[in-house]
Structure 1
């Protein structure tokens, strides 16, 4: 273990805010925590079990501009389609990373098989801001199944870091980030002690999906997000039970954030332009949304 580690500055409980019959918890934004710049928003859907003959996820076609969405499928399946012509069905353990940039309309729904058969579902969706110079970048999308994500042993074999973007232990995540975001999920067994990378000057996103961890003398239980100081290059984490973390770090952007529904820009004028562009059909990309098993 490192001699020095970042310390907790605050612990934020995720707020329960269900969407239709979808169990949803939101740790950021939260009271006293507008963002963990550049991480804007995190929804934790589930865990829950859907009955056969269900309606599936409620995220039909909707627009985005000015940021990126990163979706982690922990259990269940997720179908994506967008007006950039991208489509996929991602299964448990996989990730989809969409750069909305200048504008896309997308849908994230349940495949027909899931709606027919039901089953367990747990999904995390993270919004990552883009700096002003990249807000109008061309949209793109990458979907990666579990077997395309390096699973790196940590903590003397008691932990696994599933590397989505960035580099760790000589390996690189499959999804390149426009802004150098490091992103991973971390699985810890009871007794695990790990030093996670947290380079000085970078904002750290640390959310306990399940289980609980200890950092220093403070415990962070499941469904809580910890914010950290900038006093070291690592964060030392201990787990007393099976635990899953969402863990990432990135350079803060430090620019004004003006959000309006699905648009995140720097000024109100840019929000107005986004609404006008969407209404004018400029987010329609290569054509209508493709049907992906819905």
Structure 2
């Protein structure tokens, strides 16, 4: 296998989102987006209790893209204007296709707030092409134990296939575009090579630990935490220096004009204004606050 060369490696800086402090590897001044991925937030780990609950997001709208949550620790309650209500647990993934519009709310479960605990996760915004931006909204919740798992030859690396395909094994999530999402858990010393299409933009994000990529560059917390690949090979290899958790993402670039404002991702300013108007007119549904 020819390995993709590394295009760039960047830190995951902290930003403030209201009362929430979280890591935002992109967008930044250096990386506007990695088409088709618009935004990546790494939130937590937060200590949650009755006295401290910073991550409780009340009802808010989305249109034109797919907000995805990979929950690493804790429990979250998801509610939306389609009528879904589900408890998302550690290792689960919720994949929302906002399409023409959805209102959802998420935050720690009441049980987690009552007993206290830790919450941590990844929030990803995946773009939709113009032809699908106004499709019917949809919600998928896949549980940790439902994902197919690829185990490395040395038995030290487990790769969960959330979406897409790896070694003829497929993801649980049905996607609107050509995209891979793999959660990788590696024990110290574990090695694995992962193949994906050279038509995709690919990136690797480190949540915990330290790994060497392609035997040439290491990524660790606060140092080159996000690695983006050129489209010049067929995959990449990792070797874990310590116990590590990584998220691999790849997707075919959409190559369309992107216009964003708040919770909307469209193709033009006019469409953003239409989204705001439609939300105010109740066309994205209704979801009461708790």
**Quick check: 244-253 or 188-197, which moved more?**
188-197
SS of residue paired to 2:134: coil
Distance in 2 (CA, whole Å) between partners of 1:21 and 1:83 is 25
Structure 2 partner of 1:172:
170
What is the deviation of 1:49?
A: 2.3
What is the deviation of 1:95?
A: 0.5
In structure 1, runs of 5+ residues without a counterpart are none
State the Cα deviation string for residues 164-185 of structure 1 (Å, max 9, x = none).
Answer: 1112233221111011211111
Structure 2 partner of 1:221:
220
State the Cα deviation string for residues 203-262 of structure 1 (Å, max 9, x = none).
Answer: 112111111221232111125111111111111112111111111211000001100010
Structure 1 partner of 2:238:
237
Structure 1 partner of 2:204:
206
Question: Of 19, 33, 53, which aligns to 1:55?
Answer: 53
What is the deviation of 1:282?
A: 0.2
Distance in 1 (CA, whole Å) between partners of 2:287 and 2:107 is 12
Whether the 8 Å contact between 1:81 and 1:290 is mirrored in structure 2 is no
Structure 2 partner of 1:273:
274
* TM-score w.r.t. length of structure 1: 0.93
SS of residue paired to 1:71: strand
What is the deviation of 1:46?
A: 1.1
State the Cα deviation string for residues 85-114 of structure 1 (Å, max 9, x = none).
Answer: 111111111000000000011111121111
Whether the 8 Å contact between 2:166 and 2:196 is mirrored in structure 1 is no
Structure 1 partner of 2:250:
249
SS of residue paired to 2:86: strand
Distance in 2 (CA, whole Å) between partners of 1:57 and 1:118 is 13
In structure 2, runs of 5+ residues without a counterpart are none
- Aligned residue pairs, count: 287
Distance in 2 (CA, whole Å) between partners of 1:249 and 1:217 is 21
What is the deviation of 1:272?
A: 0.8
SS of residue paired to 2:185: strand
State the Cα deviation string for residues 63-95 of structure 1 (Å, max 9, x = none).
Answer: 100000110110001111111111111111100
SS of residue paired to 2:277: helix
Distance in 2 (CA, whole Å) between partners of 1:43 and 1:156 is 32
- What is the correspondence of 1:19-58 to structure 2 with a 5 Å cutoff? 19-20=17-18, 22-55=20-53, 57-58=55-56
Structure 2 partner of 1:123:
121
Whether the 8 Å contact between 2:19 and 2:54 is mirrored in structure 1 is no
Whether the 8 Å contact between 1:82 and 1:290 is mirrored in structure 2 is no
- What is the correspondence of 1:63-74 to structure 2 with a 5 Å cutoff? 63-74=61-72
SS of residue paired to 1:17: strand
RMSD: 1.6
Structure 1 partner of 2:149:
151
Whether the 8 Å contact between 1:65 and 1:100 is mirrored in structure 2 is yes
Runs of 4+ more than 4 Å apart: none
Question: Of 88, 91, 101, which aligns to 1:90?
Answer: 88
Distance in 2 (CA, whole Å) between partners of 1:154 and 1:122 is 26
Structure 2 partner of 1:142:
140
